[in-house]
Amino acid sequence: MEYVYAAMILHSVGKPINEENITGILKAAGVEVDETRVKALVSALEGVDIDEAIKSHQMVTTAAASAPSEEKKEEAKEEEEEKEEEVSEEEALEGLGALFG
């Protein structure tokens, strides 16, 4: 994860995301650098529009955050329906009690 954070720091300050810069950040943070992981990250980020990736991630996060509220609405609706059923059963029993009172 620290490798990705290093790339994000470089991106946010407008520096090129390359092996030398990522290695420098990681070493400054006291991380034992794995050159293979650095190369893989730089290679994976080639041609990626990081700003666009962040925006699309925010949209996904926003959509995911709204989904649970829909589920909560469904649960509340189901609970309300169950309460209505309970009330109806109680009313029916009261009616029977009046008949046989």
Q: In whole angstroms, what is the distance from residue 27 CA to residue 21 CA?
A: 10
Provide the pLDDT confidence category of residue 43 given band limits of 50, 70 and 90: very high
Mean pLDDT on 16-21: 95
Q: How far is 84 from 34, CA to CA, in rounded Å?
A: 62
- Do the Cβ atoms of 39 and 19 come closer than 8 Å? yes
pTM score:
0.56
Which fold would CATH assign to domain 2-100?
Arc Repressor Mutant, subunit A (1.10.10)
Mean pLDDT of 38-63: 82
- Every domain of the chain and the residues it spans: 2-100
Give the model confidence (pLDDT) of 58-98 as tens digits.
666 666 666 656 667 777 777 777 666 655 566 665 655 55
